Amino acid sequence: MPNTPDFDDDYINELKSQGPEEDVLTATVADRDEALAEARIQAVQQDIAAKKAIRSKTYITSEIPVRPCTADCPHRGTCKDFISGRVEDKDLCKPELRKIKKWQVAFRKGNLDELKDDVGAVAGALAVQLVRLLEAVNTDGAVVETTKFVAGHSYNEKMAHPALTAASKLAKDLGIDLTNFLMTPKAVKENGPQVQVNIGISQDEVHARFAARFAKPDKVIDVEVSPTKGDDS
């Protein structure tokens, strides 16, 4: 057996009776495991947040087609982001980023009504360009003369104004269809005449007015209409 020191019983009892020192911190195994688990959770959460920030930054700078802020921008002198210092030279254009973010959120949530103002502004701008194309045709004429070259020789050729083709395509893109607006002879013939009905007159009077308005010239129909409340005609 190994040699062990001899301790008297009084010394051992004295050690047992002493409590822990005041400046010594004590912790159980359960407390240590709980603190370790909490630290691990916080570390994982911080790592996830950092990865999200990196992905967001990479997406914004590499995949969204946003131009940088430069002196060539015509809106730089009135841009609140640039004037306030939120955007510096060569930074990505914050107004464009906000616009793209607005569309992303609208499509993600399905709230497309929030985009009606933006779509209306684009449609209005296209309508203005359509009018300018037609003005160019009126100025230059529907037929213009262009110079072409073949085998080193040039010749003049008359052709339809290119703005006509561009205007026609732009009108289709805007959904401008004269048939839908009943503005073609065929559409008027198929849909019949439009009749304005005044509220407050009887059905017989409506029929009488309709017959009088669309009667043939050689057939005169005398219609006697009594005044009725609400009839402003």
Q: What is the pLDDT of residues 130-164, one digit of tens each?
A: 999 999 999 999 999 888 888 888 888 999 999 99
With a cut of 50, list the residues of the chain below it in pLDDT: 1-2, 4, 22-25, 57-62, 230, 233
Alpha helices in 74-192 (DSSP H): 80-84, 94-109, 116-140, 162-174, 185-191
Q: Which residues pair with 149 in a beta bridge?
A: 154
Structure tokens given for 200: 């407050």
Listed in sequence order, the residues at least 6 apart from 159 whose beta carbon sits closer than 8 Å to its beta carbon are: 143, 144, 145, 146
pTM of the predicted structure, to 2 decimals: 0.46
pLDDT of residue 198: 57
Listed in sequence order, the residues at least 6 apart from 86 whose beta carbon sits closer than 8 Å to its beta carbon are: 94
pLDDT of residue 59: 45
Q: Which residues pair with 68 in a beta bridge?
A: 92
Residue 91 CA to residue 68 CA, distance in Å, equals 5
pLDDT of residue 8: 64
